[in-house]
Every structure is written in structure tokens, then in C-alpha cells.
Amino acid sequence: MSVTFPASVPFYKMQGSGNDFVVIDNRAARIPELEMQRFAVAACRRAFGIGADGIFFLDLPKERTDVDVIWHFFNADGSRAEMCGNASRCAARLAHMLGMAGPGLSIGTDAGVVRAEVFEDEREVRVQLTPPCGLETGIALDLGGGEAFTGHFVNTGVPHAVIFVENVENVDVDRLGRAIRYHARFAPAGTNVNFAQIVSAEAISLRTYERGVEGETYACGTGASAAVYLAHHLKLTGPDVQVTTSGGERLGIGVVEGALFLRGKAEITFSGVLNLQSVGLA
């Protein structure tokens, strides 16, 4: 049985390097976990709702002492995601601004504990992602029709395939990204897909097709981290790389003894109150 929502719910709209999110302070909103998927689809729908790549519900931990805050993160299509790098930076900054935690904090995600440091003067956040796992290189991807690519894979909190290309501007990200996202090699869960151009030993240009958004996004923190992790593993770059996203923003990625660090802007663009009747939730 569906829960009856309140007439309205306050929200924040945030973006991390162009990856945009609806944020609910669930200490007050008290959206039940079983109803979050339905809420996510309605709130993230562009033109009809607030519009976003994803949504997270931020709360204080009730039964654990190893983290400062917890979240429930959903993609725009309502699918639950284990992790989102850019959203974790937004979560850390908002939690600090709301007094939920200090500038050095930890976030409980479905992928594990993410540790963050807020640099308020620069409006930036640095996070240490969960340990990368599932590394595979040299994966043959036959897309049919004479199209074939060599891909690489690593899970940086969520699964990521990375294809290194000569020029990212020439890539049909939506078509090829969708084909690889649903490729049998990554079934049944599928994967996010990144097309990476090595600019120098310290720079990568990146475009990402995100699972759950089902299209190209302006940025993807875990995708940028996956690209740098693989590029460094393949000796294509050094351990500290600036990644330029399709939105034109830059993310700083560092590989330190196998651990991944992600730093970039985390901005509150606006806040408001969502009329739930207008999006079919009340």
C-alpha cells in the first residue's frame, strides 16, 4: 500500500561539475525508504518535476556509529545506485552547511563508506571513493555491423566500462554508449560507459553515458575516476590527472597507493518547495 505524502516537501538543487541532483533533507521530510523510488522518478523528471540526473535523501545514521551521515541515492529512472562520485561531494558539502557534520566527514553509501573533506572557501569537496575492484583490461566488444572496440572495466563504486579514443568529440555517445551499456558482456546489471581521450600524462577529456540516466551527462565523478585509474594502470597517464567533462568542468583525480581521490566543485544552485500534487504524488 502506498504511503500518503505530505502536500509539499522542501528540497535543494545541487550540481557537481554539471552533474545535477535533487536533495532531500530526510531528517524533516521523512520520506519512507519504500516510497523513495516513486518520489525519485517524479522529482527528477525534467520539465514536469524539478529535473535532475539523480536524487539523494540525506539523513543521520540511526543504527550505526561508523559514519556521520547516510544517504539513499536513486538515478532519474528510479533505479537505486550504489554510489555516485559527484553526488557524494554535494552530500558532503550540504551536510556540513546544515550542521550535520564537520568539514571532515564520512558518508554511508550502498557501496561502502566514502570519506570527504569540505573546502568551503573554494566551494569544493574532496572524496576518497570506495576501493576500486573488478579490474579487467583488453575486453573485446563486438557491437555488430562491423563495429568493434577494445574496452576496459573497473568498479569505482558503480560499474564502469572505459573506451580510449583518439577524439571524444567524434564519438556518438548516446548510440555507442547504449550499445555497450546493454552489451551481453556486462549483463545482467549493465554498466556505465566512458569514452576517454588522453590529452597528456596529466589530462583526459571524457564523455560518459550513465546507466540509470540512459544518456550522456555533463559529468560523472566515478566515471572520471575509473578512466584515470585505468589510464594510470595502463601507463597512459601519471597518478594525478585533470579530467575535463563534456560540461566543460574539470575534476581532479588522484591515484594514491591504489586508492582513488576525487575533487571538484559542489554547488547549491537553488532551493525550494516541491508541490507533490503537481507531480502526481499527493
Pick the catalytic residue from 44, 84, 90, 133.
Answer: 84
CA distance 109 to 188: 22
263 is in an annotated binding site: no
User: Which residues have CB under 8 Å from 52's CB, separation 6+?
Assistant: 13, 20, 21, 22, 43, 44, 46, 76
* DSSP-assigned beta bridge partners for residue 239: none
Give one word for 150, left, alpha or beta, with left for phi > 0 and alpha for psi -120 to 50: beta
* Cell representation of residue 211: 546507466
44 counts as catalytic: no
| 280 has binding-site annotation | no
112 assigned ligand-binding residue: no
75 assigned binding-site residue: yes
User: What's the rounded Cα separation, in Å, for the pair 245 and 224?
Assistant: 8
3-state secondary structure of 272: strand
Sorted by sequence, the CB contacts under 8 Å of residue 12 that are 6+ apart come out as 22, 23, 24, 25, 94, 268, 270, 271
Catalytic residue list contains 84? yes
Flag whether 211 is marked binding.
yes
Flag whether 257 is marked binding: no
Of 94, 61, 46, 91, nearest to 73 by C-alpha is 91
Is 192 annotated for ligand binding? yes
List, as residue ranges, the binding site for substrate: 19, 75, 85-86, 192, 210-211, 221-222
Residues annotated as catalytic are: 84, 220
Give the residue numbers of the binding site.
19, 75, 85-86, 192, 210-211, 221-222
